[in-house]
Amino acid sequence: MMRLPNPPTVAIIGATGAVGREMLAILEERAFPVRALRLFASPRSIGTRIPFRGMEIACQALEAIAPSALKEIDLALFSAGKGLSKEWAPRFRDEGALVVDNSSAFRADPSCPLVVPEVNPHALEAIDGPAIIANPNCSTILALVAVTPLHRVLGVERMIAATYQAASGAGAAAMAELESQAHAFAANQPFDTRIFGRQYLFNVFSHNSAIGPDGYNEEERKLLTETRRMWESESVRVSATCVRVPTLRAHAEALHLEFARATSEAEIRELLSKAPGVRVLDDRATNRFPEPLDAAGGDDVLVGRIRMDPSVPNNRGAALFLCGDQIRKGAALNAIQIAERFL
């Protein structure tokens, strides 16, 4: 397994977006070693100065980067969209960088590991030089952080998911649109609907990704394909319904699981209580369970509503509800946790 120089020269591509800014905050919080930092952004953000460890670093244009400067990058964290990743991530890799990409560009590429450190860290062990590593989809990351500890012991054969996804999953502009609609409602003004083409405030609607001929949208399909890839199992059955809800930055998911063997609520609770990246929040007496506001800004996936599922015979089914910060563990934090494995 390769090792990054310590400290490495780091580049963030998409530095002014919601995930890019969160990456910067997490690098500071976790005291990630950085020799030098290069920030890249869209043309409208060129020259924007972003504070980092007592300095202000100006955003640059990717197109203006000199070949010699490209060769200096040891670690490139991408969060600027599929098209830009497809064009530039291979260039950074070919010049010697380890690339962690947050878009969907490389998730189905068998030459690019798809990794959540709590789920399949062994996928990183074969990397012995510059490479592209893909961050999974946010809803998949949050689900598998919680479910993989159960899968390792009980063998998940089927997972039915309903996701309630925040505006953050569609980027900073979508978050701003939701906030603007709240202000417009209070002022009795027309709503701005440029991002989603509909009222978002006080509404729930099907996830805005493209729908295929089978009736499933891309977000729903990712839960199946990415789970199978990271679990290295084509037999696990997954079906999902993904919707947008008017919360800002933490996704929620209701999961129904079918196991290979009988289990109990006590065993499931014990497994979850020991799982890295999971915090059980399940207080029936006070009706206190995971909520997006509790998860926002945190690193853990909150899990509650833990109960057996009577629709699955022989005590082989369970249901749970989780919330996790989509910008952090669903994107920025996961990318940096991957990078930390190479220090």
Q: Are 162 and 19 in the same domain?
A: no
Q: Are 225 and 284 in the same domain?
A: yes
Which CATH number covers residue 60? 3.40.50.720
Determine the Cα–Cα distance for residues 26 and 332; give it in Å rounded to an integer.
8
Reported as a pLDDT band with limits 50, 70 and 90, residue 261 is very high
Predicted local confidence at residue 30, as pLDDT: 98
Q: Are 77 and 23 in contact (CB under 8 A)?
A: yes
Q: Report residue 315: phi and psi, to 5°.
A: 55, 40
Instruction: Tell whether 1 is covered by a domain.
Output: no
- How far are the Cα atoms of 46, 88, 166, 244 from residue 169, in angstroms, in the given order? 24, 22, 6, 9
Determine the Cα–Cα distance for residues 231 and 144; give it in Å rounded to an integer.
9
* Sign of the four-CA dihedral 240, 241, 243, 245: negative
Q: Are 20 and 114 in the same domain?
A: yes
The question of whether 122 is a catalytic residue gets the answer no
Q: How many domains does the chain have?
A: 2
The question of whether 242 is a catalytic residue gets the answer no
Average pLDDT on 7-28 reads: 97
Among 59, 112, 242, 251, the one annotated catalytic: 251
Q: Are 160 and 92 in the same domain?
A: no
Reported as a pLDDT band with limits 50, 70 and 90, residue 297 is very high
Average pLDDT on 285-305 reads: 98
3-state secondary structure of 138: helix
Which CATH number covers residue 232? 3.30.360.10
Predicted local confidence at residue 180, as pLDDT: 98
Determine the Cα–Cα distance for residues 63 and 14; give it in Å rounded to an integer.
13
Instruction: Tell whether 253 is covered by a domain.
Output: yes
DSSP state of 106: T
- In which region does residue 185 sit, left (phi positive, over 0), alpha (psi from -120 to 50) or beta (all else)? alpha
Q: Which residue has the higher pLDDT, 65 or 255?
A: 255
Q: Are 157 and 269 in the same domain?
A: yes
pTM: 0.96
Reported as a pLDDT band with limits 50, 70 and 90, residue 26 is very high
Among 59, 112, 138, 323, the one annotated catalytic: 138
For the chain, the average pLDDT equals 97
Instruction: Tell whether 179 is covered by a domain.
Output: no
Q: Are 40 and 25 in the same domain?
A: yes
- Which range marks the domain in which residue 271 is found? 140-166+205-244+247-327
HSE, CB side, 13 Å, CA atoms: give it for residue 152.
13
Instruction: Tell whether 174 is covered by a domain.
Output: no
Question: Which pLDDT tens digit goes with each residue over 244-253?
Answer: 999 999 999 9
Question: Which pLDDT tens digit goes with each residue over 176-210?
Answer: 999 999 999 999 999 999 999 999 999 999 999 99
